[in-house]
Structure 1
Amino acid sequence: MSIIYTCRHCQTKVGELPNSHIHDVRTGLHSLTPAEAADIISYNSIQDSTYVKTVCEHCQETLEANPELSLLSNPLQ
């Protein structure tokens, strides 16, 4: 199963762990609450992939430079 990381704001693919057999402990996903996990992680059984929402460097820098954007539901689209 692949783990694919995408930016939650611009949907850019940030990284991928192909054919990964990494457990949640090594990825840090085990420390998420059920609500956080539901918001951040999604599964695609057809592609046998796990998708994890993160924030890319560009979006992070933009949000740090313009903190008022974080008040919007889709700040960088």
Structure 2
Amino acid sequence: MAIIYNCRHCGNVIGKLDQPVVETSMLGLDRLTSKEKQEMIYYKENGDVDIQAICEDCEDALGSHPHYHELDFFIQ
């Protein structure tokens, strides 16, 4: 089982954890609301978990261009 962090904006892989067992509290997933979990966490058929986050480049772009927050996707 792998936990894969992907940027929700550009799609790049931010990081990957290859662990047989991981405590969700160690990842901070227990602090998410039910809605946030539903929007951010996707379980694949092979047992992998995809987590949608934001990479540093996209975070910088959003900081420099606050109006991008209004868009679902700002990278074309």
TM-score (norm 2): 0.93
Structure 1: where are the runs of 5+ without partners? none
Please, what is the CA RMSD of the aligned residues?
1.0
Q: Matches of 1:60 and 1:20 in 2, distance apart?
A: 30
Q: How does 1:31-46 map to 2 (within 5 A)?
A: 31-46=31-46
Matched residues, number: 76
Check conservation: 1:9, 1:55, Cα contact below 8 A: yes
Superposition map of 1:19-34 within 5 A = 19-34=19-34
The match for 1:75 is 74
* TM-score normalised according to structure 1 size: 0.91
Which amino acid in the other structure matches residue 68 of structure 1? Answer: H
Question: Which 4+ stretches in 1 moved above 3 angstroms?
Answer: none
Q: Is the 8 A contact 1:5 1:53 kept in 2?
A: yes
Gaps of 5+ in 2: none
